[in-house]
Amino acid sequence: MMSRQSPAVRRSPMDGVDDRAGAKCQGWPRAPRDLEEDYERVSTTLQDLKPVPVELGGVRGGPDVRTLRRDGWWRSPAATVAFLTVVVVYATWAVFQNSHFFVGAASHRDLISPLYSPCITANCYGTVTGGWHISWWKISPGLLALTIPGGFRATCYYYRKAYYRGFWQSPPGCAVSDGHSRYTGETRFPLILQNLHRYFFVLALVFNVVLTIDAVMAFRLPGDGGIGVSVGTLVLVANATLLWLYSASCHACRHLCGGQVNEFSKHPIRYRLWKLTTPLNARHMQIAWASLALVAFADLYVRLVASGVFSDPKIF
Amino acid sequence: MADVTMRVWRGDEDGGTFTEYVMPAVEGEVVLDVIHRIQAGPAPDLACRWNCKAGKCGSCSAEINGLPKLMCMTRMDVLPEGEPVVVAPMRTFPIIRDLVTDVAFNYTMARQVPPFKPREPEADGTYRMQQIDIERGQEFRKCIECFMCQDVCHVIRDHEENKASYAGPRMFIRFMELESHPLDTDDRRELLRERMGLGMCNITKCCTEVCPEHIKITDNAIIPLKERVVDASYDPVAWLGRKILRRTKRSALEAALDAPGQHTPTRQEQPTRPVVSATDHS
């Protein structure tokens, strides 16, 4: 066996064949014996290995057209572009309003927009329950939501598919030409930063906790206390629930729970977690859209109540 | 029943065009049945690769109305009625003739996949695995190598130059099967990042959409592989964890040296494909 400390790796193609399964297994593919002496190599890095040449070019069959599809392949990317544009434009506008993001005791409930939570900037002081704030931060607290949960969604494996297809047209549909002259995928800056998705996932969990606290606080009646439920309470609870489902169904979450494990039988807890997240992961797309829509709706609801367009209907 | 109009690509590397064949419709037929009737009737020289006619050999891949499908598994009655059925060869691979393409690219890439490298057997000379350890990889064993996932992948479909450095979805499920195998001792992650082009995939899931075996290629193979590559190359916390826990898998270089592709002659070194004339069949 070769030493892993050796600076030079010298191998023949038959190395590693005879020791497979203690030479007991029959039927493993074996390189022809007469090739052995031809392939003695000296390699110190992966880059030293000579790549197997791939024959490029060759005439392709079929007509030279963008696609032969006649179905409505364009509907899905068009709908994606429309919906994402509306939500992103609305969220950006809402974040920079820096007002009407909180409904206080005057409206019988503490409701805060999910785009403005955690509200820890200077203008939150005195309006939102909880005294801790950053006194020098004068601009909108919504910038936090725009960067961290926004980054979590921007690097999400599902949204990547959606916007690569919808906005970048790479490709717009299956078997539809992407029309770009060059393509390097996610191997270079800035798209190589998509690999930071797991960090956004962990940071977004903090926001989930804060928004869950917001939802619980929305049950609280002002004054002498007590518990009540309004439509706004239900909106914030549904929003927090979908955010947790969105995080739990995330591909990075599935990997960190157990996807990186090779022997599940030796890691029963991680296997259990992996089995729990796997069916959620299969519905990641649906949860992603529902959650995104509800975040925008929750902000709109709080904004309308806070600006006095209507009052939050009390259920009990 | 009414007639069906089949618009079939006819041609070779010197050029080609669609030729229309109007055939009587027969209830219960699949596209391959109609192609066979065309061969038996108006176009006996129509070239088409097929074998099992049961969706298990992966030979009859073609693009039907623009989407990669198995001809033997595409029923005529699910296609739009009253419109011509367009049958073209797979776009990503060089044409040989009519509906037959040269899929050698896939075999070149397959030879670069480092094979299964099991750990030392147990004291009694055997291996033991639990079903839960191995069931994840069993999904990938369903692959019939129709290469439609390779065909539809825009990384090589629209960018020929990427073929030199991109293994493609079919190879990625093979990599995932090996990487997640409980007995395997190779670490192929650096190889995937450096040489197999895993980062080129932008997970638009067309491979999953066209897979006739319904393998969740993107969710269960490519994305887990991307996450494993993040562990190996982009995540300092995971790197620290490996250092502390002293993981001992064989390196990507050691694994790559075992790949049979390292020993395989290239197309230029191989003898040219023998030409069989019509009279040689006797």
The verdict on a CB contact (< 8 Å) between B182 and A263 is yes
**pLDDT (mean) for B180-208:** 94
Domain B3-101, CATH among 3.70.10.10, 3.10.20.30, 3.30.70.580, 3.90.1170.40: 3.10.20.30
The verdict on a CB contact (< 8 Å) between A174 and B152 is yes
| Nearest-by-Cβ selection for A20 from B118, B227, B235 | B118
DSSP label at B220? Answer: I
SS3 A60: strand
Query: Above pLDDT 90, what percent of chain B?
Result: 76
- Annotation: CATH topology of B104-256: Fumarate Reductase Iron-sulfur Protein; Chain B, domain 2 (1.10.1060)
Q: What is the pLDDT of residues A235-260, one digit of tens each?
A: 999 999 999 999 999 999 999 999 99
Q: What is the pLDDT of residues B100-142, one digit of tens each?
A: 999 999 999 998 899 999 999 999 999 999 999 999 999 999 9
B72/B33 Cα distance (integer angstroms): 7
The verdict on a CB contact (< 8 Å) between B164 and A60 is no
Using CA coordinates, name the residue in chain A closest to B234.
A195
Q: Does A180 touch chain B (CB under 8 A)?
A: yes
Q: Per this entry, what is the length of chain A?
A: 316
Neighbours of A90 (CB within 10 A): 14
The verdict on a CB contact (< 8 Å) between A175 and B152 is yes
For residue A41, the model assigns a pLDDT of: 46
Contacts of B68 in chain A (CB under 8 A): 175
For residue A98, the model assigns a pLDDT of: 84
| Nearest-by-Cβ selection for B11 from A21, A61, A184 | A61
The verdict on a CB contact (< 8 Å) between A175 and B67 is yes
Domain boundary assignment for chain B: 3-101, 104-256
For residue B242, the model assigns a pLDDT of: 76
For residue B263, the model assigns a pLDDT of: 41
Return the biggest CA–CA distance within chain B: 72
Query: Which region among A175-189, B185-199, B233-247 has the lowest average model confidence (pLDDT)?
Result: B233-247
CA distances from B134 to A263, A275, B38, B75, B177 (A): 8, 14, 45, 35, 9
The verdict on a CB contact (< 8 Å) between B66 and A70 is yes
| Nearest-by-Cβ selection for B95 from A61, A171, A192 | A61
A95/A93 Cα distance (integer angstroms): 6
The verdict on a CB contact (< 8 Å) between A35 and B263 is yes
Q: Which residue has the higher pLDDT, B133 or B270?
A: B133
Relative to beta strand B61-64, strand A9-11 is unpaired
Q: Does A226 touch chain B (CB under 8 A)?
A: no
Q: Does A38 touch chain B (CB under 8 A)?
A: yes
A238/B60 Cα distance (integer angstroms): 49
> What are residue B103's DSSP bridge partners?
none
Q: Per this entry, what is the length of chain B?
A: 282
The number of helix segments (H) and strand segments (E) in chain A equals 8, 4
Query: Which region among A51-65, A168-182, B69-83 has the lowest average model confidence (pLDDT)?
Result: A51-65
CA distances from A45 to A6, A9, A15, B195 (A): 12, 9, 18, 12
Q: Which residue has the higher pLDDT, B131 or A49?
A: B131
For residue A44, the model assigns a pLDDT of: 60
- Give residues 151 to 170 of B whose Cβ lies within 8 Å of A: 152, 154-155, 157-165
For residue A80, the model assigns a pLDDT of: 97
> Which stretch of DSSP H or E encloses residue B101?
strand B100-101
Per the CB < 8 A criterion, the answer to whether A59 and B13 are in contact is yes
* Closest C-alpha to A111, from A101, A122, A98: A101
The verdict on a CB contact (< 8 Å) between B266 and A196 is no
The verdict on a CB contact (< 8 Å) between B199 and A182 is no
B2/B268 Cα distance (integer angstroms): 50
Q: Does B3 touch chain A (CB under 8 A)?
A: no
Q: Does A270 touch chain B (CB under 8 A)?
A: no
Domain boundary assignment for chain A: 75-177+189-306
Q: Does B208 touch chain A (CB under 8 A)?
A: no
Q: What is the pLDDT of residues A278-312, one digit of tens each?
A: 999 999 999 999 999 999 999 999 999 989 898 88
CA angle A186/A281/A265 to nearest 5° reads 105
> CB-based contacts of B96: which residues, under 8 Å, 6+ apart?
B12, B13, B47, B102
Contacts of A264 in chain B (CB under 8 A): 130, 132-133
| Nearest-by-Cβ selection for A53 from B15, B162, B266 | B266
For residue A109, the model assigns a pLDDT of: 67
> CB-based contacts of A232: which residues, under 8 Å, 6+ apart?
A103, A109, A111, A218, A301, A302, A305, A312
* Closest C-alpha to A257, from A278, A243, A229: A278
Structure tokens at B99: 């509906």
B157/B170 Cα distance (integer angstroms): 14
| Nearest-by-Cβ selection for B130 from A21, A45, A265 | A265
Provide the whole-model pTM. Answer: 0.86
